Amino acid sequence: MSFLKKSLFLLSIVLFSMSVFAQSVDEAGAKYNEGNSYYKEKNFADAVTAYESALKIANEAGADANDLKASIEKQLLNAYYANGKTLYKGAKFDAAIASFEKAYDLAEELGDSSKKKNSNSYIAKVRTSKGGSLLKKNKADEAFSEYTMAIEIYPTYYKAYYGLMLVYKSQNDMTKMMESADKVIELGEGNSKAAKTLKKTKLTASKALVNAGAKEIQNGNGKKAIDNIQNSFKYLPGNSNAYYYLTLAYNMEKEWDAAITSAGNALAAEPEKDKSDVNFALGQAYEGKSDGAAACAAYKNVVSGPNVDAAKYQMTQVLKCN
C-alpha cells in the first residue's frame, strides 16, 4: 500500500472513531434529556433507569463525554434520593433502602456530604419503619434486627430506640425496655419533633411496668412487683391502679406502713372511682399492723366487688368491729 493510501486509511479510521464517539455522546445526551423529562414528571423510577443508561453510554464514550457525565451523575444522585423517598412513602421498605444506599454510595463518590448524610438518615428511618411493620406481625426478632441496624447507621435516632423499647416490652424484658425508654427520653428531650414519641414512650413504659408488677403479684413475688411499679413512677405519676397494685405487693412482703401509705395514695387519686378493692387491701395492712380500729374503718368502706363478703367476715368474726 502506498504512503498516500495508508494516510487516507488512517484518516478514515480517525474520522470513523470521531463519528462513533460523537454519536455516543449524542446518545448519552438523549438519554440524559429523557431522564430529565421523567424527573420533571416526578417519575423517579424511570428517571433512574434513563440516567443509568446515559451514564453507561457516557462512560463508554470516554473523555469526550466528561462534562456530560458530571451532569448525569449529579441528576442520577438526585433521582436515587427522590425515588427512595417515594418508595418509602409507599411502604416499599426494601426497595427504598436499596435506592438510598445507591444514593449514599454515589454521594460518597461525588463528594456530596449533604446528600450522603441525608441518605444515611433516611436508611435508618426506613429500617425503623420496617421494624414497626414487622413488630405488628409479631416478628420481634426481625424487628429487633432492623432497629439495631438503624441505630448503627444513625446512633441518635430516638425513634429506633422507641422501636427497641417495644421489642423488649413484647419479650417482657423490663430492664432492657427501660434502658431503651431512657435513651428515647435522653435523645428526644427538648426536641419539639420528638414530643409525640416522648409522650408515647412514657405512657408505654409506665403501663408495661405496672402490668409487669401485677403479673409478679399473681406469681407471688412481691419484691419484684414493688420494683416494677416503683420504676413506673419514673415515667408517669402513679394512678389509683398503680398504687393499688403497689399496696398488694407491700402487703405480700408484710411492709405494712408502706402498704398503708400506698393505699392512701390510691384513695387520693381518681376520687370519683369506687375504691372498695383499695379499702380491702388497706384493711389487710392495718390488720397486719395490729390496728383493729383502723382495719374496721377500712373494711366498712368495702361496699362492692368480690371482697364484700370477706370484709364482712373480718369485721364480724375476726375483728369484732362495733
Q: Where in the chain is the domain with CATH 1.25.40.10?
A: 24-122, 238-322
Q: How many residues does the chain have?
A: 322
Chain centre to alpha carbon of residue 21: 52
With cut-offs at 50, 70 and 90, classify the pLDDT of residue 2: low
Q: What angle do CA 65, 66, 68 make, to 5 degrees?
A: 65
pLDDT at residue 308 tops 60 = yes
Q: What's the whole-model pTM score?
A: 0.87
Question: Which among 289, 284, 281 is positioned nearest to 263, based on CA atoms?
Answer: 281
Q: How confident is the model at residue 23 (pLDDT cuts 50, 70, 90)?
A: low
**Phi/psi at 40 (5° precision):** -60, -30
List pLDDT tens digits, range 118-155. 999 999 999 999 999 999 999 999 999 999 999 999 99
Res 12 pLDDT > 50: no
Which CATH number applies to 24-122?
1.25.40.10
CB 296 within 8 A of CB 307: no
CATH number of 238-322: 1.25.40.10
Residue 129 C-alpha cell reads as: 419503619
